[in-house]
Structure 1
């Protein structure tokens, strides 16, 4: 604990890092404040049915979690940052097939700026489609007519669409500003604080269920918290686990006189291949697909179709989680193939005069890396499946649904991944400061505020 407080002191003493942390916290507070500001013309007291629909698990629950509850509150940030994430994924996928985007990806910083601009415009386009769909869906999700103070005419729809689109643009700006001027990845931090915002309420509901209703008491609460910390440790292992591939880099050094030959030397390094290179995307994709069987089955009145609809409407049921697990494995392989271009890695390695010992540069290196990725992706996908289905297991074990959702799945992996990334950035600042001190005096320099 003493070392923890010393680290906080060191963070505060470094002026640049202190300013970045303060800016990050300020912008996150702005985002959280905006998530509680409702759209004009909506009576928030009549949104209880919408809250119930978005807390029952599934895609709506994920959307509500990603927006920090703004989706269920009909807030100006109701669309959240998800349109920007969707646009980013679309641009990534298009980059595999469109030569223009491939060219931009190879142009360095200028190409990256152009891709970011394309992503922003695509985000606005997605918002223009999603905003009217959201407003129309409010009534379908149980919001009564009386909740719309001025009705649902154009005088409500048009201003609300403009506000929702503007809200996403502001959220996108906040995220980019945190990334540029703050600490951590801004977009990811916006999602994380939205998820964490629901944690205290979920935990208090679980305490009320166990203690007030005499359903196990504080001992069960303690066991649940211990198990939760164990799951967090396992999630950290999943995020951090890598397979290191040894790489030898050739170098030439000329010494001595004119007739002395060049001496070949080398530096040994590693290519870190992540056990889970796809992150939480397989879970998100699989969660979206899981709604399709229920929707298709709902078109028929037969007994079999109704049975399928019932099975796929219960996210804590056996058949739902079995199909869910299979889809996660499939999407893990699919997204890993997109995110880890082994052919490009092999080409870059060859250009930098690097090689894997015992493997020829070029095609054989690409095949070797692809084989290694296939071997480590399978256990990685199984580990991801275990984390994804843990909320269902926790709920079936008697844990309240809201608290069970934090035992795994998308929410937990996002919190762990973003926390690790932010901590690494803070740590790099501290290490760099320490490195400067060693270069000057051999000790950490005292920094004026």
Structure 2
């Protein structure tokens, strides 16, 4: 039996990797872009006192602000130019996709191909600017209301500070949106996911140190910390198992004779993943919950009675928050699966290529069978994501463990890592095929 190191070397094929200059350029570009992102998370917004913000986040870091800070990679607690991170863009994408499902005009744009996709992306950018402006204005007002033992958080509050903060934060979000698109086009893909991934991974060491510090001070027992680390490892293993699991539908191609030769007759598989939507549902659910709760978290103490009541019921770890979070994950699992996978189109492609599912008639019956199978798989996939995201969240809310050990962060880290490795493998395979084609052409010339 081959060792794990030999299997890893066989999968990655380091010899081919060393020769794949295009892939190396893409990796270096991606690393450079992520370094720029991390540098931006340390450039503060002008006019604030970082010491007061640190005091506020020490008091409220276990609430919704702490979760927002996790997605921002620590940029919110430091109140930097990337404090909003990429969340306004994700929220705008959700809104545009929801409108596409209900608006005939937008659905027509989606079917127009590349030109329609560009128009929808432009609408998403407009929505990003609008949402980022609203969130930045709320952050500016919230920071003006913050104060700690050393004084107010804002040195000189007023309209000038609010306008400067809005311009800075909206510009930071738009730059991250552009950076994510560049990583997708010129890097190794998944630009938006990689930005969120980089923020979570960069803060993991600090979260581990803070957890160990809680154990040293006696806030957490050593046995609980060991249980937490073991649980995190078990969640990672479970995520990898479920993300690689798939249901394979047998596809048969009939034999056909052309002259004296017989073609076809082979069988293949149509793989259906258990979690077709990937990491999108928990990100969408978190971003939608963060959108209203950001304002509630800042203005809940000094706002009207209904806002204080909403803040109490929607606080992180409450029953209503957990129920809404689970419901949104289930909804976006089915919604996004319906967007990325079209059973009718798949059945039509099989029919055009002469393929069929044994025991199922081509056409509508095949589409209905694929849709039925995919629906059952999505039920399992959504239940798996709810379990992975909610069970650690309960421990976090009860014991004030850092969010970086939660199910949502682990799900994002593991799935983005697997997708990135798959992208690298596809680039390596493309390089190998290009090399074979070039060698074949050279031999043909001889």
For this structure pair, what is the TM-score category when the shorter chain's length is used for normalisation? 0.7 to 0.9
1:430 to 428, 431, 442: 428
Whether contact under 8 Å (2:200, 2:404) holds in the other structure is: no
Answer yes or no: is 1:236 the counterpart of 2:240: yes
Deviations 1:172-206 (A, max 9, x none): 11111111111231111101111112211111122
From 47, 70, 73, the counterpart of 2:53 = 47
**1:55-84 residue CA offsets vs partner (Å, 9 max, x unmatched):** 2244x3332222112122221111211121
Q: Which residue of 2 aligns with 1:446?
A: none
In structure 1, the partner of 2:86 is 81
Q: TM-score normalised to the size of structure 2? A: 0.81
Does residue 268 of structure 1 match 2:272? Answer: no
Q: Does 2:168 align with 1:146?
A: no
The aligned runs of 1:33-432 (5 Å cut-off) are 33-52=39-58, 55-58=61-64, 60-139=65-144, 146-153=152-159, 155-211=160-216, 213=218, 216-217=221-222, 224-249=228-253, 252-256=256-260, 265-284=264-283, 287=286, 288=288, 313=315, 315=317, 321=322, 324-325=325-326, 328-395=329-396, 400-402=400-402, 405-432=403-430
Tell me the number of residue pairs that the alignment of Structure 1 and Structure 2 aligns. 423
Please give the alpha-carbon distance, in whole angstroms, between the structure 1 residues aligned to 2:5 and 2:248: 34
- Paired with 1:396 and 1:110, the residues of 2 have a C-alpha distance of 46
Rounded to whole Å, the distance in 2 between the matches of 1:72 and 1:362 is 55
* Distance apart, 1:94 and its partner CA: 2.2
TM-score between the two structures when normalised by the length of structure 1: 0.80
1:303-361 alpha-carbon deviations (Å, 9 max, x no partner): xx97x97665350x667546654554455344434443333333444444433222223
Moved more, 160-169 or 359-368: 359-368
Structure 2 gaps of 5+ residues are: 441-446
Distance 1:30 1:351 in 2: 47
Deviations 1:237-264 (A, max 9, x none): 22222212222345755214xxxxx967
Residue pair 1:388, 1:409 contacting (<8 A) in 2 also:
yes
**Partner SS state of residue 277, structure 2:** coil
For residues 192 and 105 of structure 2, the distance between their equivalents in structure 1, rounded to whole angstroms, comes to: 26
CA deviation after TM superposition for structure 1 residue 52, in Å: 3.5
Q: Where in structure 1 are there 5+ consecutive unaligned residues?
A: 257-261, 443-449
Distance 2:170 2:61 in 1: 24
Matched residue of 1:149: which SS? coil
Q: Is the Cα–Cα contact under 8 Å of residues 250 and 269 in structure 2 kept in the other structure?
A: yes
Alignment match, 2:444: none
Q: CA RMSD in A?
A: 3.6
Higher helix share: 2
- How far apart in 1 are the matches of 2:96 and 2:312? 36
Note if contact 2:144-2:153 (Cα within 8 Å) is conserved in structure 1.
Answer: no
Q: Equivalents in 1 of 2:56, 2:140: separation in Å? A: 12
Is the partner of 2:43 in helix, strand or coil?
A: coil
